[in-house]
């Protein structure tokens, strides 16, 4: 019986990617014949497959990244978490160098031939790794302010850079992610409340930049400026609203015809709503929720704190991003550039999130290995010293499972794993 | 810590739940409202391009077609720098900048700058990317043959409404009512429906004109006008049996693609809009009437040796003194004296009846706008000299078409045909929606027409007035006409202004074409046989070979060949 990794998790993710590919194709394949003709006169042959080809290639890269993340030794990653975080910070700062690309008044991308990369996606994953590592350190004490201040300080560094870009979507998701992970670790709640003070500069920044403030206000009453700041949101509403219960049919959506800006990236959820209706979007939301549940189940079965925090953190990272995206397209929070994981068009988000899922699979696979070691078969792997085992009472179940395992299988399995490559986690994600 | 994880999971679950509630609010509760909004912005009403029907000749050759063009308009409120835009446009369009500027600063929010510009030219302006300048698809009527059959075809106004000729008369068939359809659009207004290729088309008009014959006729008419320095000229070629006009032209003429550049006089279709005194060609009335009434027979001798005849105290002279002539010779040599003598035998009532029988003084019912009826006085208002004058074609006003129709009646054995130029109208799908009907009335017995035909044949023979109209290989039956024009200043017959005409049909015994050539104010010579006859001959011989009409002597030659071989 193959119990090395959580197959359901993989299936859920693949399902989301498939939904994403379908939606990306639907949103980018229809081009007005007038525009095609216009470009043809300029000598550019527009293809309906232009975007989907690129996205398929990204999925391929994502699968490779996921596999590498799955195969990487978690201990090594744990050690590397701080260098990785620093590396992500460097990437983020590269945005301000000549490599950076400015679009829509924000510097969020760096040029990676032949494409672009958004470091903020990588930052989130590295932050989860770092927090998991930090919170599983022996010196981490939930009632010590320093234990709270250090991660918050690290986050603050990133937030400053994000605000400079500016990328308020990243600010919001990173803050939520860090806070929820600190909350998870059991940190004093009053520390978290004190963080509210740090929110002040954000509000000041918002007020100082009228265009940003307008966007904030826009979500409260998009109809006030239907042709300006409220336009995108109204178009998103129209897309979702015209979908109704069952949608207008796959590929039949009309809002993607330049009505809804960024329909294939940040607002792809609206397109799914228009074409597949309420049933479709609820399904997508539920699949994300299942992914989250699957993630925290893996976390609960984790064999040490690092694994636990890592798995929980990744699950939350994806869930938070999904919820923020849903909230943006439904006008519950101000509009911000945040892609829907696995579904939106765009390489950075997809590759990073698939890497994250790879890590999640790695954690779930480590459970299998731990079970083996718990059965006393091949205790070879050095358990991190000083880690209290998780307060999980699965021991009996595991022993029961263990008896079913054939020795030969377990052995060969182990051989393969131990001789497996120790590829460093260096992929750009 | 476990509690915390449960709290967090609950918060996330609540987040998903809130999203679903919000989605239900937008997608289920407000579905109808947003659907309405969606339809409102995704669908636009778009006018389908309306294409006027095309005009074809009898063999399907295009005489009037449509071109896809674009019209350029401006919205002055969107133009920040009218001077710069005007100069840019004037460079691109080759139009004076001040004319453009006036439109750019106009108070109206919509002004045409230029209508119906070719797509290639508008592309140049589009590339300038000027704000406030817009383009609308427009359809331009185009006449590929330029001035050919210009008076017949007519032309259209800027909104493709027929203004002259067939374009005007059959406007309701050719034009199609503009319709609007709902098409899907994207946010930039680009249409997405494939249905754009759909268009409304008017019915196609098929003329009786043959482009080849029309060309032959016009070319020779042009040559004649040039040669005789004529003021104007008209020629009509008709199928004598059906009344189908095969070719019709008037001079001066104009280019259909720029009708506004010429005076209205050039655009007049003189074949039907202008009357003239026919002169000797009108002798057909007295001639046929006398034969039909049995007043004379071809060999009745009439003494014309005096060279003049006095009617109502007024002397009417022959061109040359002729002696005693048979009735046949009277017509052949176009003797005024002889004709008047026959006319006097007929009496004015009978002459008038036959004038009416030929349809003079009434519109022929020709299917083009502007036809006039001509002018014939009723017998009770005739003066003492009238019977003589009318017998030889004076004191009457007729159109060339009426004269031609009278001769066609001789050609076809006694039927008065209805001349027409539109043979049928077909819908874009090909269904016939209009068809010209030809129900000629018999006006003469066949005996009379046969006799008169024989007489007309002698006109182009040795001793006739129009030997110059004889066609090599086919016998021409016809009649010359030379009439003085009335000088508008003196109200008397002018000494030097004449109308020369020749009307006839060919081949005489099996007529394929009936034709009239009228030359106004030729310089150098005045006689119909000299001026108009040769034009007739050239057009007729070219047309007969174009129509592959066998020579009259062809059969005899072949028989001759066969018999000589037999002898051997």
Is the distance from CB of B375 to CB of B275 less than 8 angstroms? yes
For B95: left if phi > 0, alpha if psi spans -120 to 50, otherwise beta; the answer is beta
Residues B340 and B470 in one domain: yes
pLDDT at position A64? 95
pLDDT at position B108? 77
Say yes or no: A35 contacts chain B, CB-CB below 8 A.
yes
B183 in any annotated domain: yes
| CB-based contact B38 A255, cutoff 8 Å | yes
Residues A296 and A427 in one domain: no
Residue B435 CB partners (closer than 8 Å, separation 6+) = B423, B424, B425
B312 in any annotated domain: yes
ipTM of the complex in this document:
0.83
Residues A125 and A102 in one domain: yes
Residues A328 and A396 in one domain: no
**Among chain A residues, CA nearest to B2:** A184
Structure tokens at A194: 């004190």
Residues A90 and A127 in one domain: yes
| CB-based contact A237 B34, cutoff 8 Å | yes
Chain centroid to CA A294: how far? 15
B24 in any annotated domain: no
Tell whether pTM > 0.90: no
Residues A386 and A300 in one domain: no
φ/ψ of residue B311, rounded to 5 = -125, 120
| CB-based contact A330 B23, cutoff 8 Å | yes
Residues B132 and B245 in one domain: no
Residues A332 and A429 in one domain: no
Residue B131's domain comprises 45-207
Q: Please count the CA atoms within 13 angstroms of the CA of A100 that sit on its side-chain side.
A: 19
Residues A258 and A405 in one domain: no
Residue A212's domain comprises 7-372
Say yes or no: B38 contacts chain A, CB-CB below 8 A.
yes
Opening angle at CA B402, ends B399 and B404, nearest 5: 110
The number of folded domains in chain B is: 2
Active site residue B193: no
Residues B367 and B294 in one domain: yes
Q: Which of B152, B179, B207 is the last residue of a domain?
A: B207
Judging contacts by C-beta atoms under 8 Å, the chain B residues touching residue A289 are: 12-13, 16
**Among chain B residues, CA nearest to A260:** B187
Residues B189 and B308 in one domain: no
| CB-based contact A257 B185, cutoff 8 Å | yes
User: Nearest Cβ partner of B30 from A183, A241, A286?
Assistant: A241
CATH code of the domain covering residue B79: 3.90.1310.10
CA A125 to CA B257: how far, in whole Å?
A: 73
A1 in any annotated domain: no
User: Nearest Cβ partner of A237 from B16, B26, B184?
Assistant: B26
pLDDT at position B517? 94
Q: Which of B207, B233, B250 is the last residue of a domain?
A: B207
Q: Which of A356, A372, A388 is the last residue of a domain?
A: A372
Residues B202 and B290 in one domain: no
Residues A166 and A30 in one domain: yes
Residues B127 and B226 in one domain: no
pLDDT at position B97? 80
Please name the residues between 268 and 297 in chain A that touch chain B, using a CB distance below 8 Å: 273, 277-278, 281-282, 285-286, 288-289, 292-293, 296
Residues B51 and B190 in one domain: yes
Is the distance from CB of B340 to CB of B388 less than 8 angstroms? yes
φ/ψ of residue B65, rounded to 5 = -130, 180
Residues A196 and A343 in one domain: yes
User: Nearest Cβ partner of B5 from A184, A293, A319?
Assistant: A184
Residues A242 and A359 in one domain: yes
A2 in any annotated domain: no
Counting every residue written for chain B, the total comes to 568
Say yes or no: B18 contacts chain A, CB-CB below 8 A.
yes
Q: Which residue numbers in chain B have pLDDT < 70?
A: 1, 46-47, 188-198, 554-568
| CB-based contact B1 A282, cutoff 8 Å | no
DSSP labels, B167-217 = HHHTHHHH-----EEEEEB-TTS-B--GGGG--EE-PEEEES--HHHHHHH
Residues B200 and B227 in one domain: no
Which one from B280, B335, B500, B501 is the annotated catalytic residue? B280
Residues B232 and B203 in one domain: no
φ/ψ of residue A45, rounded to 5 = -95, 110
What's the first-to-final CA gap in chain A, in angstroms? 32
Residues A270 and A411 in one domain: no
CATH code of the domain covering residue B462: 3.40.710.10
B416 in any annotated domain: yes
Q: Which of B183, B207, B231 is the last residue of a domain?
A: B207
Q: Which of A331, A347, A372 is the last residue of a domain?
A: A372
The alpha-carbon gap from A395 to the nearest alpha carbon of chain B, in Å, equals: 17
Residues A138 and A37 in one domain: yes
Residues B195 and B218 in one domain: no
The alpha-carbon gap from A180 to the nearest alpha carbon of chain B, in Å, equals: 7
Q: What is the pLDDT along chain A (429 residues), one digit of tens a residue?
A: 345 778 899 999 999 999 999 999 998 887 666 667 777 777 777 777 888 888 999 999 999 999 999 999 988 989 999 999 999 999 888 888 888 887 767 778 888 777 788 888 899 999 999 999 999 888 888 888 888 889 989 998 998 888 888 888 888 889 899 989 999 988 888 888 877 776 677 778 777 877 767 766 667 777 777 777 778 888 899 999 999 899 888 888 888 877 888 888 889 999 999 999 999 999 999 999 999 999 999 998 888 889 999 999 999 999 999 999 999 999 888 777 789 999 999 888 999 999 999 999 999 888 766 665 555 444 344 444 444 444 444 444 444 444 444 444 444 444 444 443 443 333 333
The alpha-carbon gap from A111 to the nearest alpha carbon of chain B, in Å, equals: 30
Partner residues linked to A110 by β-bridges = A100, A117
The number of folded domains in chain A is: 2
CA A242 to CA A236: how far, in whole Å?
A: 10
């Amino acid at each position: 019986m193959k119990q090395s990794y959580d197959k359901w998790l993989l299936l859920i993710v693949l399902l989301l990617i498939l939904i994403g590919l379908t939606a990306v194709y639907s949103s980018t394949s229809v081009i007005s014949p007038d525009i095609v003709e216009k470009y043809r006169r300029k000598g550019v042959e527009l293809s309906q497959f232009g975007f989907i080809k690129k996205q398929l290639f990204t999925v391929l890269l994502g699968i490779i990244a996921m596999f590498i993340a799955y195969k990487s030794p978690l201990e090594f990653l744990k050690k590397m978490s701080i260098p990785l975080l620093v590396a992500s910070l460097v990437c983020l700062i590269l945005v301000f160098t000549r490599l950076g690309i400015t679009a829509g008044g924000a510097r969020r991308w760096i040029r990676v031939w032949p494409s672009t990369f958004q470091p903020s996606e990588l930052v989130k994953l590295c932050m989860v790794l770092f927090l998991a590592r930090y919170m599983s350190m022996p010196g981490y004490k939930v009632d010590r302010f320093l234990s709270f201040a250090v991660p918050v300080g690290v986050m603050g560094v990133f937030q400053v850079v994000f605000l400079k870009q500016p990328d308020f979507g990243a600010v919001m998701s990173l803050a939520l992610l860090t806070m929820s992970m600190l909350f998870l670790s059991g940190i004093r709640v009053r520390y978290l409340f004190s963080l509210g003070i740090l929110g002040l500069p954000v509000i000041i920044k918002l007020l100082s930049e009228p265009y940003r403030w307008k966007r904030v206000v826009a979500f409260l009453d998009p109809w006030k400026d239907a042709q300006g700041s409220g336009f995108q949101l109204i178009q998103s509403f129209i897309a979702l609203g015209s979908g109704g219960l069952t949608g207008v049919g796959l590929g039949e959506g009309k809002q993607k015809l330049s009505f809804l800006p960024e329909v294939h990236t940040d607002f792809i959820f609206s397109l799914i709503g228009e074409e597949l209706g309420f049933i479709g979007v609820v399904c997508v939301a539920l699949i994300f929720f299942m992914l989250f549940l699957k993630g925290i189940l893996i976390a609960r079965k984790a064999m040490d704190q690092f694994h636990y925090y890592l798995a929980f953190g990744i699950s939350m990272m994806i869930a938070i991003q999904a919820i923020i995206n849903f909230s943006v397209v439904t006008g519950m929070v101000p509009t911000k550039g945040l892609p829907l994981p696995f579904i939106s068009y765009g390489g950075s988000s997809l590759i990073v999130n698939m890497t994250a899922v790879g890590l999640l699979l790695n954690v779930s696979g480590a459970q299998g290995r731990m079970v083996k070691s718990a059965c006393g078969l091949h205790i070879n792997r050095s358990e991190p010293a000083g880690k209290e085992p998780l307060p999980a009472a699965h021991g009996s179940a595991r022993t029961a499972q263990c008896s079913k395992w054939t020795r030969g299988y377990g052995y060969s399995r182990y051989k393969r794993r131990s001789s497996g490559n120790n590829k460093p986690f260096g992929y750009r994600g | 810590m476990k509690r915390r994880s449960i709290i967090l999971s609950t918060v996330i679950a609540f987040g998903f739940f809130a999203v679903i509630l919000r989605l239900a609010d937008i997608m289920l509760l407000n579905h109808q409202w947003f659907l309405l909004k969606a339809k409102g912005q995704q669908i636009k009403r778009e006018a389908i391009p309306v294409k006027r029907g095309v005009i074809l000749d009898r063999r399907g050759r295009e005489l009037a077609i449509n071109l896809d063009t674009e019209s350029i308009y401006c919205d002055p409120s969107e133009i920040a720098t009218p001077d710069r835009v005007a100069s840019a446009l004037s460079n691109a369009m080759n139009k004076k900048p001040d004319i453009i500027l006036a439109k750019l600063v106009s108070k109206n929010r919509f002004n045409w700058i230029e209508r119906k510009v070719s797509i290639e030219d508008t592309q140049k302006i589009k590339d300038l990317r000027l704000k406030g300048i817009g383009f609308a698809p427009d359809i331009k009527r185009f006449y590929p043959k330029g001035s050919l059959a210009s008076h017949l075809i007519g032309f259209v106004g800027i909104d493709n409404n027929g203004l002259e000729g067939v374009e005007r008369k059959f406007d309701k068939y050719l034009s199609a009512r503009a319709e609007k359809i709902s098409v899907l659009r994207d946010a930039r207004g680009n249409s997405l429906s494939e249905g754009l290729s759909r268009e409304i088309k008017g019915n196609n008009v098929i003329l009786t004109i043959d482009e080849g014959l029309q060309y032959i006729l016009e070319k020779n008419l042009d040559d004649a006008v040039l040669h005789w320095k004529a003021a104007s000229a008209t020629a009509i070629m008709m199928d004598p049996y059906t009344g189908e006009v095969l070719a019709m032209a008037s001079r001066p003429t104009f280019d259909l693609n720029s009708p506004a550049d010429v005076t209205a006089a050039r655009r007049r279709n003189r074949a039907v809009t202008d009357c003239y005194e026919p002169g000797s060609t009108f002798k057909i009335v007295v001639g046929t009437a006398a034969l039909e009434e049995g007043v004379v027979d071809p060999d009745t001798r009439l003494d014309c040796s005096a060279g003049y005849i006095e009617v109502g105290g007024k002397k009417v002279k022959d061109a040359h003194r002729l002696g005693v002539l048979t009735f046949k010779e009277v017509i052949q040599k176009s003797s005024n004296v002889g004709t008047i003598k026959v006319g006097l035998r007929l009496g004015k009532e009978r002459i008038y009846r036959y004038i009416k029988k030929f349809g003079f003084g009434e519109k022929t019912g020709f299917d083009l706008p502007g036809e006039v009826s001509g002018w014939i006085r009723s017998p009770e208002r005739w003066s003492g000299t009238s019977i003589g004058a009318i017998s030889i074609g004076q004191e009457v006003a007729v159109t060339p078409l009426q004269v031609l129709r009278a001769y066609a009646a001789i050609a076809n054995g006694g039927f008065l045909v209805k001349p027409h130029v539109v043979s049928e109208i077909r819908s874009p799908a090909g269904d016939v929606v209009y068809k010209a009907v030809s129900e000629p009335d018999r006006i003469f017995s066949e005996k009379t027409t046969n006799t008169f035909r024989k007489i007309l044949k002698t006109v182009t023979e040795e001793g006739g007035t129009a030997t110059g109209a004889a066609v090599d290989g086919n016998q021409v039956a016809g009649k010359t006409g030379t009439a003085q024009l009335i000088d508008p200043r003196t109200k008397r017959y002018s000494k030097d202004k004449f109308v020369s005409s020749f009307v006839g049909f060919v081949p005489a015994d099996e007529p394929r074409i009936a034709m009239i050539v009228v030359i106004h104010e030729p310089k150098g010579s005045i006689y119909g046989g000299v001026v108009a006859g040769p034009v007739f001959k050239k057009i007729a011989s070219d047309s007969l070979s174009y129509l592959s009409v066998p020579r009259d002597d062809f059969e005899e030659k072949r028989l001759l060949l066969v018999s000589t071989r037999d002898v051997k």
